[in-house]
Structure 1
Amino acid sequence: MSFYARVFSMAEDYPSRFAICDELLEAGFEFSTFPGKFDEDFDEKDWKYLMLEYDPNHEPIRIERNVKGVDTIFEEEQEEFLEVLKELPYSKEQKKAIEIVKNMVQIYALDIDEDITEEGWDFLETLLDFIADATDGYVQIDEEGIYDKEGELLIEME
Protein backbone atom coordinates (compact mmCIF):
# COMPACT_ATOMS: atom_id res chain seq x y z
CA MET A 1 0.00 0.00 0.00
CA SER A 2 1.03 3.55 -0.51
CA PHE A 3 -0.15 7.06 0.24
CA TYR A 4 0.38 10.43 -1.40
CA ALA A 5 1.99 13.65 -0.34
CA ARG A 6 1.48 16.56 -2.71
CA VAL A 7 2.74 20.05 -3.25
CA PHE A 8 0.09 22.45 -4.52
CA SER A 9 2.23 24.93 -6.41
CA MET A 10 1.25 28.57 -6.91
CA ALA A 11 4.16 29.27 -9.31
CA GLU A 12 4.63 28.21 -12.91
CA ASP A 13 8.38 27.88 -12.37
CA TYR A 14 9.59 24.48 -11.31
CA PRO A 15 12.89 23.00 -10.20
CA SER A 16 14.85 20.85 -12.62
CA ARG A 17 15.57 17.25 -11.77
CA PHE A 18 19.19 18.35 -11.25
CA ALA A 19 18.13 21.01 -8.71
CA ILE A 20 16.09 18.45 -6.76
CA CYS A 21 19.01 16.02 -6.69
CA ASP A 22 21.50 18.74 -5.74
CA GLU A 23 19.32 19.76 -2.80
CA LEU A 24 19.09 16.17 -1.55
CA LEU A 25 22.85 15.65 -1.99
CA GLU A 26 23.60 18.89 -0.10
CA ALA A 27 21.40 17.61 2.73
CA GLY A 28 23.64 14.53 2.93
CA PHE A 29 21.40 11.90 1.38
CA GLU A 30 22.61 9.06 -0.83
CA PHE A 31 20.06 7.92 -3.40
CA SER A 32 19.55 6.81 -6.97
CA THR A 33 17.17 8.17 -9.58
CA PHE A 34 15.19 7.05 -12.58
CA PRO A 35 15.79 8.38 -15.07
CA GLY A 36 19.46 8.44 -14.07
CA LYS A 37 21.54 11.62 -14.15
CA PHE A 38 23.37 10.41 -17.24
CA ASP A 39 20.26 9.43 -19.20
CA GLU A 40 19.72 11.77 -22.14
CA ASP A 41 16.26 12.84 -20.96
CA PHE A 42 17.29 13.60 -17.34
CA ASP A 43 17.73 17.29 -18.15
CA GLU A 44 14.40 17.41 -20.00
CA LYS A 45 13.05 20.92 -19.39
CA ASP A 46 9.35 20.10 -18.92
CA TRP A 47 9.79 16.90 -16.92
CA LYS A 48 6.79 14.92 -15.65
CA TYR A 49 8.23 12.01 -13.64
CA LEU A 50 11.11 11.27 -11.29
CA MET A 51 11.76 8.24 -9.11
CA LEU A 52 14.02 8.60 -6.07
CA GLU A 53 15.33 5.50 -4.31
CA TYR A 54 16.55 6.48 -0.84
CA ASP A 55 17.13 2.84 0.19
CA PRO A 56 17.61 -0.12 -2.19
CA ASN A 57 15.59 -2.31 0.20
CA HIS A 58 12.50 -0.10 0.08
CA GLU A 59 10.15 1.18 -2.58
CA PRO A 60 11.29 4.41 -4.25
CA ILE A 61 9.40 7.68 -3.92
CA ARG A 62 7.71 8.44 -7.24
CA ILE A 63 7.08 12.06 -8.22
CA GLU A 64 4.57 13.01 -10.89
CA ARG A 65 4.34 16.67 -11.94
CA ASN A 66 0.98 17.75 -13.38
CA VAL A 67 0.37 21.19 -14.86
CA LYS A 68 -2.84 23.22 -15.15
CA GLY A 69 -4.17 23.32 -18.73
CA VAL A 70 -1.78 20.57 -19.86
CA ASP A 71 -2.56 17.45 -17.83
CA THR A 72 -6.17 16.30 -17.38
CA ILE A 73 -5.22 14.69 -14.07
CA PHE A 74 -4.50 18.21 -12.74
CA GLU A 75 -8.10 19.31 -13.27
CA GLU A 76 -9.46 16.01 -11.89
CA GLU A 77 -7.39 16.30 -8.70
CA GLN A 78 -8.27 19.98 -8.32
CA GLU A 79 -12.00 19.20 -8.52
CA GLU A 80 -11.69 16.30 -6.05
CA PHE A 81 -9.91 18.47 -3.50
CA LEU A 82 -12.38 21.33 -3.93
CA GLU A 83 -15.30 18.94 -3.34
CA VAL A 84 -13.75 17.60 -0.13
CA LEU A 85 -12.86 21.09 1.14
CA LYS A 86 -16.32 22.50 0.42
CA GLU A 87 -17.88 19.76 2.57
CA LEU A 88 -15.83 20.82 5.61
CA PRO A 89 -17.29 23.28 8.12
CA TYR A 90 -16.79 26.90 7.13
CA SER A 91 -13.76 28.56 8.72
CA LYS A 92 -11.04 30.97 7.67
CA GLU A 93 -8.73 27.92 7.28
CA GLN A 94 -11.27 26.19 5.03
CA LYS A 95 -11.61 29.38 2.97
CA LYS A 96 -7.79 29.68 2.67
CA ALA A 97 -7.47 26.01 1.64
CA ILE A 98 -10.12 26.47 -1.08
CA GLU A 99 -8.26 29.55 -2.32
CA ILE A 100 -4.99 27.54 -2.48
CA VAL A 101 -6.59 24.70 -4.47
CA LYS A 102 -8.38 27.10 -6.84
CA ASN A 103 -5.21 29.10 -7.54
CA MET A 104 -2.63 26.33 -7.82
CA VAL A 105 -1.00 25.87 -11.23
CA GLN A 106 0.93 22.63 -10.64
CA ILE A 107 0.59 19.55 -8.50
CA TYR A 108 3.59 17.48 -7.50
CA ALA A 109 2.18 14.11 -6.43
CA LEU A 110 4.61 11.94 -4.47
CA ASP A 111 3.64 8.28 -4.25
CA ILE A 112 5.13 6.90 -1.02
CA ASP A 113 5.14 3.33 0.23
CA GLU A 114 3.63 2.98 3.71
CA ASP A 115 6.74 1.00 4.76
CA ILE A 116 8.84 4.17 4.51
CA THR A 117 11.74 4.17 6.99
CA GLU A 118 12.70 6.91 9.43
CA GLU A 119 15.51 7.90 7.04
CA GLY A 120 12.90 7.88 4.27
CA TRP A 121 10.76 10.34 6.25
CA ASP A 122 13.76 12.68 6.60
CA PHE A 123 14.42 12.34 2.88
CA LEU A 124 10.75 13.00 2.09
CA GLU A 125 10.60 16.05 4.37
CA THR A 126 13.66 17.58 2.68
CA LEU A 127 12.16 16.84 -0.73
CA LEU A 128 8.74 18.33 0.11
CA ASP A 129 10.29 21.42 1.72
CA PHE A 130 12.49 22.04 -1.32
CA ILE A 131 9.68 21.66 -3.87
CA ALA A 132 7.29 23.79 -1.78
CA ASP A 133 9.90 26.54 -1.34
CA ALA A 134 10.92 26.45 -5.02
CA THR A 135 7.35 26.68 -6.30
CA ASP A 136 5.54 28.82 -3.73
CA GLY A 137 3.71 25.65 -2.78
CA TYR A 138 1.67 24.16 0.04
CA VAL A 139 2.15 20.58 1.23
CA GLN A 140 -0.83 18.21 1.42
CA ILE A 141 -0.54 14.73 2.93
CA ASP A 142 -3.22 12.05 2.66
CA GLU A 143 -5.10 11.36 5.90
CA GLU A 144 -3.59 14.54 7.41
CA GLY A 145 -4.47 17.68 5.47
CA ILE A 146 -2.95 20.82 3.99
CA TYR A 147 -0.05 22.58 5.69
CA ASP A 148 0.73 26.30 5.67
CA LYS A 149 4.08 27.80 4.66
CA GLU A 150 5.45 27.38 8.20
CA GLY A 151 4.69 23.66 8.20
CA GLU A 152 1.71 23.96 10.55
CA LEU A 153 -1.48 22.05 9.74
CA LEU A 154 -3.78 24.59 8.06
CA ILE A 155 -6.76 22.28 7.67
CA GLU A 156 -7.35 18.66 8.56
CA MET A 157 -8.61 16.36 5.80
CA GLU A 158 -9.25 12.65 6.23
Structure 2
Amino acid sequence: MSFYARVFSLAEDYPSRYAICDELLEAGYEFSTFPGKYDEDFDEKNWKYLMLEYDPNHEPIRIERNVKGADSIFEEEQEEFLEVLKELPYSKEQKKAIEIIKNMVQIYALDIDEDITEEGWDFLETLLDFIADATDGYVQIDEEGIYDKEGELLVEME
Protein backbone atom coordinates (compact mmCIF):
# COMPACT_ATOMS: atom_id res chain seq x y z
CA MET A 1 0.00 0.00 0.00
CA SER A 2 1.02 3.57 -0.50
CA PHE A 3 -0.16 7.09 0.20
CA TYR A 4 0.33 10.42 -1.51
CA ALA A 5 1.93 13.69 -0.56
CA ARG A 6 1.40 16.57 -2.96
CA VAL A 7 2.71 20.03 -3.54
CA PHE A 8 0.10 22.44 -4.87
CA SER A 9 2.21 24.99 -6.76
CA LEU A 10 1.12 28.55 -7.45
CA ALA A 11 4.13 29.38 -9.66
CA GLU A 12 4.65 28.20 -13.22
CA ASP A 13 8.40 27.84 -12.66
CA TYR A 14 9.57 24.40 -11.69
CA PRO A 15 12.87 22.86 -10.64
CA SER A 16 14.74 20.65 -13.07
CA ARG A 17 15.45 17.05 -12.17
CA TYR A 18 19.07 18.17 -11.70
CA ALA A 19 18.04 20.87 -9.21
CA ILE A 20 16.02 18.37 -7.17
CA CYS A 21 18.94 15.92 -7.09
CA ASP A 22 21.45 18.64 -6.25
CA GLU A 23 19.32 19.76 -3.30
CA LEU A 24 19.12 16.21 -1.95
CA LEU A 25 22.86 15.65 -2.46
CA GLU A 26 23.67 18.92 -0.67
CA ALA A 27 21.51 17.72 2.23
CA GLY A 28 23.76 14.64 2.44
CA TYR A 29 21.49 11.97 0.97
CA GLU A 30 22.63 9.09 -1.21
CA PHE A 31 20.02 7.87 -3.68
CA SER A 32 19.46 6.67 -7.21
CA THR A 33 17.04 8.00 -9.81
CA PHE A 34 15.02 6.86 -12.76
CA PRO A 35 15.57 8.14 -15.30
CA GLY A 36 19.25 8.04 -14.40
CA LYS A 37 21.31 11.22 -14.30
CA TYR A 38 23.19 10.15 -17.43
CA ASP A 39 20.12 9.08 -19.42
CA GLU A 40 19.54 11.39 -22.38
CA ASP A 41 16.04 12.37 -21.22
CA PHE A 42 17.12 13.27 -17.65
CA ASP A 43 17.56 16.93 -18.59
CA GLU A 44 14.16 17.03 -20.35
CA LYS A 45 12.88 20.57 -19.81
CA ASN A 46 9.18 19.87 -19.28
CA TRP A 47 9.64 16.69 -17.24
CA LYS A 48 6.69 14.71 -15.93
CA TYR A 49 8.10 11.79 -13.89
CA LEU A 50 10.99 11.13 -11.52
CA MET A 51 11.66 8.15 -9.26
CA LEU A 52 13.96 8.54 -6.26
CA GLU A 53 15.27 5.45 -4.49
CA TYR A 54 16.46 6.52 -1.03
CA ASP A 55 17.06 2.90 0.08
CA PRO A 56 17.56 -0.11 -2.23
CA ASN A 57 15.55 -2.28 0.20
CA HIS A 58 12.45 -0.06 0.06
CA GLU A 59 10.09 1.15 -2.62
CA PRO A 60 11.21 4.38 -4.34
CA ILE A 61 9.34 7.66 -4.05
CA ARG A 62 7.63 8.35 -7.37
CA ILE A 63 7.02 11.96 -8.41
CA GLU A 64 4.50 12.87 -11.08
CA ARG A 65 4.29 16.51 -12.18
CA ASN A 66 0.90 17.56 -13.60
CA VAL A 67 0.39 20.97 -15.20
CA LYS A 68 -2.79 23.02 -15.58
CA GLY A 69 -4.08 22.85 -19.14
CA ALA A 70 -1.67 20.08 -20.13
CA ASP A 71 -2.72 17.11 -17.99
CA SER A 72 -6.33 16.00 -17.44
CA ILE A 73 -5.32 14.56 -14.07
CA PHE A 74 -4.58 18.12 -12.91
CA GLU A 75 -8.19 19.20 -13.44
CA GLU A 76 -9.53 15.97 -11.89
CA GLU A 77 -7.42 16.41 -8.74
CA GLN A 78 -8.27 20.11 -8.53
CA GLU A 79 -12.00 19.33 -8.70
CA GLU A 80 -11.74 16.53 -6.12
CA PHE A 81 -9.89 18.73 -3.62
CA LEU A 82 -12.31 21.62 -4.12
CA GLU A 83 -15.26 19.30 -3.43
CA VAL A 84 -13.70 17.99 -0.21
CA LEU A 85 -12.72 21.47 1.00
CA LYS A 86 -16.16 22.95 0.31
CA GLU A 87 -17.70 20.29 2.58
CA LEU A 88 -15.57 21.42 5.54
CA PRO A 89 -16.95 23.97 8.01
CA TYR A 90 -16.30 27.54 6.90
CA SER A 91 -13.19 29.16 8.38
CA LYS A 92 -10.49 31.53 7.18
CA GLU A 93 -8.18 28.49 6.87
CA GLN A 94 -10.74 26.64 4.73
CA LYS A 95 -11.14 29.76 2.58
CA LYS A 96 -7.33 30.01 2.18
CA ALA A 97 -7.10 26.31 1.20
CA ILE A 98 -9.83 26.77 -1.45
CA GLU A 99 -7.93 29.79 -2.79
CA ILE A 100 -4.73 27.69 -3.02
CA ILE A 101 -6.51 24.92 -4.96
CA LYS A 102 -8.23 27.37 -7.32
CA ASN A 103 -4.98 29.26 -8.05
CA MET A 104 -2.52 26.38 -8.35
CA VAL A 105 -0.96 25.82 -11.77
CA GLN A 106 0.81 22.52 -11.17
CA ILE A 107 0.64 19.55 -8.83
CA TYR A 108 3.57 17.40 -7.75
CA ALA A 109 2.11 14.06 -6.63
CA LEU A 110 4.54 11.90 -4.65
CA ASP A 111 3.59 8.23 -4.35
CA ILE A 112 5.09 6.93 -1.09
CA ASP A 113 5.13 3.38 0.24
CA GLU A 114 3.57 2.93 3.71
CA ASP A 115 6.74 1.14 4.84
CA ILE A 116 8.85 4.29 4.49
CA THR A 117 11.75 4.34 6.94
CA GLU A 118 12.70 7.13 9.35
CA GLU A 119 15.49 8.12 6.95
CA GLY A 120 12.92 8.03 4.16
CA TRP A 121 10.72 10.50 6.06
CA ASP A 122 13.69 12.87 6.43
CA PHE A 123 14.45 12.48 2.71
CA LEU A 124 10.77 13.13 1.88
CA GLU A 125 10.63 16.22 4.09
CA THR A 126 13.70 17.70 2.38
CA LEU A 127 12.19 16.91 -1.03
CA LEU A 128 8.77 18.42 -0.20
CA ASP A 129 10.33 21.55 1.34
CA PHE A 130 12.50 22.10 -1.73
CA ILE A 131 9.67 21.68 -4.24
CA ALA A 132 7.32 23.87 -2.18
CA ASP A 133 9.94 26.62 -1.81
CA ALA A 134 10.91 26.47 -5.51
CA THR A 135 7.33 26.65 -6.78
CA ASP A 136 5.46 28.80 -4.24
CA GLY A 137 3.76 25.59 -3.18
CA TYR A 138 1.74 24.19 -0.31
CA VAL A 139 2.17 20.62 0.93
CA GLN A 140 -0.76 18.23 1.25
CA ILE A 141 -0.47 14.77 2.80
CA ASP A 142 -3.19 12.11 2.58
CA GLU A 143 -5.06 11.50 5.85
CA GLU A 144 -3.53 14.70 7.28
CA GLY A 145 -4.38 17.82 5.30
CA ILE A 146 -2.87 20.91 3.72
CA TYR A 147 0.02 22.70 5.39
CA ASP A 148 0.89 26.40 5.32
CA LYS A 149 4.29 27.82 4.34
CA GLU A 150 5.60 27.41 7.90
CA GLY A 151 4.71 23.71 7.99
CA GLU A 152 1.70 24.16 10.26
CA LEU A 153 -1.52 22.30 9.45
CA LEU A 154 -3.78 24.78 7.64
CA VAL A 155 -6.76 22.48 7.05
CA GLU A 156 -7.27 18.95 8.32
CA MET A 157 -8.53 16.51 5.69
CA GLU A 158 -9.17 12.82 6.34
Partner Cα separation in structure 2 for residue 140 and residue 101 of structure 1 = 11
**Deviation string for 1:10-57 (max 9, x for gaps)?**
000000000000000000000000000000000000000000000000
Give, in angstroms, the shift of residue 128 of structure 1.
Answer: 0.0
Partner Cα separation in structure 1 for residue 140 and residue 21 of structure 2 = 22
TM-score (norm 1): 1.00
Give the corresponding residue for 1:102.
Answer: 102
Give, in angstroms, the shift of residue 118 of structure 1.
Answer: 0.1
Residue aligned with 1:146, SS:
strand
Partner Cα separation in structure 2 for residue 10 and residue 95 of structure 1 = 16
Runs of 4+ in 1 over 2 A off after TM superposition: none
Give, in angstroms, the shift of residue 123 of structure 1.
Answer: 0.1
Count of residue pairs the alignment pairs up: 158
Give, in angstroms, the shift of residue 96 of structure 1.
Answer: 0.3
Give the corresponding residue for 1:27.
Answer: 27
Give, in angstroms, the shift of residue 59 of structure 1.
Answer: 0.1
Residue aligned with 1:90, SS:
coil
Give, in angstroms, the shift of residue 110 of structure 1.
Answer: 0.1
**Deviation string for 1:43-79 (max 9, x for gaps)?**
0000000000000000000000000000000000000
Partner Cα separation in structure 1 for residue 139 and residue 61 of structure 2 = 16
**Deviation string for 1:73-93 (max 9, x for gaps)?**
000000000000000000000
Q: How does 1:8-157 map to 2 (within 5 A)?
A: 8-157=8-157
Residue aligned with 1:13, SS:
coil
Q: Give the RMSD, CA atoms, in angstroms.
A: 0.2
**Deviation string for 1:129-152 (max 9, x for gaps)?**
000000000000000000000000
Identity across matched positions, percent? 94
Residue aligned with 1:84, SS:
helix
Partner Cα separation in structure 2 for residue 156 and residue 143 of structure 1 = 8
Residue aligned with 2:155, SS:
strand
Partner Cα separation in structure 2 for residue 22 and residue 107 of structure 1 = 21
